[in-house]
Structure 1
Amino acid sequence: MDKLKLYTNSNFQALRGQGDPLADEAVKSLVAKPEWIEIINSWEEIPQDIPEIFDSAVQKYFNFFNSSTDHYDLEVLKKGQLFFEKKGDSYLGMLGFYSLPYCYAFADGAEVLVRSNRIVNQIGERLGETAVFLMDIFAPGAFYEDKKAILTCAKVRLIHAFSRYFVEAYAKDWDLKFGKPVNQEDMLGTNLAFSYIVLRGLIKMGRRIDREESEAILAYWKWIGYLIGLETKNWPNTAREAIEVDRLIRKRQLRASNAGKQLIQALITYYKKSIPEPLLTERVEDILYFFLGKEASDALGIVPKNQLEGGILGLIFQYSGWKSYGGKKSYASIRRMMEQQQKEQFGKVMKIQLPVRNRS
């Protein structure tokens, strides 16, 4: 229980001023040498011998990932990937209807998100990239056999660092009271939203999640956090600790903001236009309200038309999954379905790519 002593207002306020020095130094170099970004974007996995044309900051960055495979726990990886194999479609559903909207309710963190035009104006593509991230990191054999997931994490970490760089360098309306863009508290909260909040959403719908599964997912995301620049000493190992972290961040950050309301309205509009299942699209606000609860929904301006019951909503999600996969749901079938939908909607399968600035 000593970890609970870390979860104080003063400690978390300090986290708001902390970024990710390893990635931040690499991004300074990549901004100066955009041709290096194109090289990285061409990789299928991180090469063991990092190109000598890269300077020391970029070489140090990617050498961290090449040495990271010495630190994984094979049992943790296998348990997390087995969980996703069984519940991957529901996991992605919780990501879209609970995790991301939940992040929007945290006012200061939402200020970074709303400053990315792609999140507001190209929300479908951004959601597609997030889904690709989830599918890559939970792929069977990811990290210990399939090294593509390591490159995915390396790119996501750099994307966060690019956000810090460009907001601090060019966002004239950035208020220092928001903290450093994509700071350690916001990264902790986002990782929690992609793990513990997903589990909480499944439980809300009546799905049984036992202690072993809960701690397996928390351990998996501790590993992901380590790779993407999170200070893992603050990461919860148990459901009790996760509850306390979430409670503290809610108390500190959950409040109404124009940024959060703009983000959620863009998401709602996109869902109503793009989700092919009428049982879901006709109830978007109701579903969001069910998962988020009154406090977060009020902060985002979500007004439900009807109150939903968890068991009924669980059946709706199960029916939607059955229509998509029948009795053959697996990681492979979920990935095929995701890629098919992306090809139909965007004309391509989305990829995690570093931003390349126009040099003209």
Structure 2
Amino acid sequence: MTGASYPLRFRSAEARGTRIGRPLRLFGRVHGVDEALLDRIGRAFSERDEPAAALAAALRLPPGADGRVTRAQVSAALAEVGASAVDGPPRVPAPGGRADLDERPAALEQFLPHVTAVPGWVDWELVDEGAAVLRRLGQNAADVLLQLSLVGGYRFGGPTDLLAATGALTGGTLQRLARTQEWTVALSEPGALRPGGPAWRATVQVRLTHALVGASFTGPGGAGTEPWDTARWGLPANQADQAATLGLFDGTVILGCRALGVPVPPSDSRALMHLWKWVGHLLGVHPDFLVDDEWARHRLDHHVLLAQAGVSDAGPRLARAVVAAQAERTYPGPAWWRPWRARWERERMLSMLTVFLGVRSMRELGLPLRPPWAHAYLLPLNTWRYRVAGRSRRGRERLERWGRRRSDAILASYRPVAPAGHEETAGQRQSVGE
């Protein structure tokens, strides 16, 4: 160790993290503990995404204040960013591009290059192939992201307490899940992550949302009913938690899909990891935590587990809210069938969670245990779908079409039927601050 100062949560439940991380250590080929890496993670609890934090501070300034940035200015600047050519630099919008925006504020001007400049390591063909892999994974990726990534992440204090402090426990669970689903589905569209593309804009807006949440708890006029305990948790939306979240989206999805019987060969793994490396860059994750090698991610994720705190009071409440939200979704079919479908979805989710998280974690989160019947039917189904029917080029194309259909159906189930004339646009759903 370097003698650096760490928050109290750092390694406060290391024995528990070691137990939870045993499958990751085994299937992720992790060998030993790297104290230097743990030290880097510990220091990252006190680091934040500085470019986005500066922009968030400017967004929170009162009207008329010098250097204030408005959401309209951010949205206009992002809309002006042209789609980047693969071999050329992206077009950064010039100040004063619109008549109602005479001059771009300094904080916005300084932020834009961090999301428009494309690092030399980005391979657009590999990014697009990663999107295709994500489409082929279809329902399986959606299941892993919701269960192992999201609910599994509620087993650790810190990010869960921040989420609870934002008011997430008072309602709106279905809307939060819908926005996350919309974002991940957008990432799977071809070319959507190039600067100026819809997934690029949505990802930049996610980055700003994280920064705004952090600013609301550390700046003047904090949003929480109690001050944020930096000594205990580190900074809100810190770099260690950002790295942990990225690991839940890339490496965890790969391992989770394999646990459901889906083969993820090295070529698919490489493409998917590269896609998420670019997404992580756009989200403001520190370069120390950006990797496009699956095994490097598993090693990093294992050390992140060792650095975590135990479960807090917020974790079980958030987990139960996600399970309960399955009954609020809009399922197709006649009205008499929908309550039965909602119950089936809830039981299916609990069955999969019992396998993914294990008995002790389910009890810690206050979730009821279920037999592993969902895995029992998914394993042979995915074996047929991916290892037999999906082996050929046409088979993979069929898997992509199936993945799109499942994504559309999942998104539709999270959206209430809008009254005529009140349809919500994609731009409204992706507005800054959501």
What TM-score does the superposition give when structure 2 sets the normalisation length?
0.71
1:236/1:242 contact within 8 Å kept = yes
Q: Is structure 2 residue 424 aligned with structure 1 residue 354? A: no
Which residue among 297, 306, 321 is the counterpart of 1:266?
321
Q: Which runs of 5+ in 2 are unaligned?
A: 1-29, 82-92, 97-101, 332-340, 385-397
* Cα pair distance change 1:154/1:6, threshold 3 Å: farther
1:247 maps to 302
Which residue among 175, 197, 204 is the counterpart of 1:147?
197
Aligned partner letter, 1:13: G
Give, in angstroms, the shift of residue 27 of structure 1: 0.9
> Equivalents in 2 of 1:88, 1:57: separation in Å?
39
Give, in angstroms, the shift of residue 24 of structure 1: 0.5
1:54 maps to 104
Deviations 1:176-221 (A, max 9, x none): 2101001111111111111111112111111111122222222211
For these two proteins, the number of residue pairs brought into alignment is 348
Q: Identify which range, 279-288 or 340-349, moves more after superposition.
A: 340-349
Q: Is structure 2 residue 330 aligned with structure 1 residue 280? A: no
Q: Is structure 2 residue 42 aligned with structure 1 residue 13? A: yes
Deviations 1:115-143 (A, max 9, x none): 12246510111111111111222211123
Which residue among 275, 285, 292 is the counterpart of 1:230?
285
> Equivalents in 2 of 1:112, 1:312: separation in Å?
37
Aligned partner letter, 2:362: S
1:344 maps to 416
* Cα pair distance change 1:342/1:42, threshold 3 Å: farther
Aligned partner letter, 2:424: K
Give, in angstroms, the shift of residue 258 of structure 1: 0.4
* Cα pair distance change 1:254/1:268, threshold 3 Å: farther
1:226/1:232 contact within 8 Å kept = yes
1:322 maps to none
> Equivalents in 2 of 1:82, 1:119: separation in Å?
35
* Cα pair distance change 1:156/1:6, threshold 3 Å: farther
* Cα pair distance change 1:202/1:248, threshold 3 Å: same
* Cα pair distance change 1:43/1:237, threshold 3 Å: closer
Q: Is structure 2 residue 54 aligned with structure 1 residue 36? A: no
Give, in angstroms, the shift of residue 339 of structure 1: 5.1
Which residue among 131, 152, 174 is the counterpart of 2:228?
174
> Equivalents in 2 of 1:30, 1:50: separation in Å?
18
> Equivalents in 2 of 1:59, 1:209: separation in Å?
41
Q: Is structure 2 residue 174 aligned with structure 1 residue 124? A: yes
1:205/1:311 contact within 8 Å kept = no
Aligned partner letter, 2:299: E
2:26 maps to none
Q: Is structure 2 residue 367 aligned with structure 1 residue 302? A: yes
2:139/2:407 contact within 8 Å kept = no
Which structure has greater helix proportion? 1
1:154/1:227 contact within 8 Å kept = yes
2:330/2:414 contact within 8 Å kept = no
2:330/2:416 contact within 8 Å kept = no
> Equivalents in 1 of 2:272, 2:116: separation in Å?
24
1:85 maps to 135
1:187/1:230 contact within 8 Å kept = yes
* Cα pair distance change 1:55/1:42, threshold 3 Å: closer
Give, in angstroms, the shift of residue 345 of structure 1: 4.7
1:99 maps to 149
Give, in angstroms, the shift of residue 49 of structure 1: 2.4
Q: Is structure 2 residue 257 aligned with structure 1 residue 202? A: yes
Percent of pairs with identical residues: 18
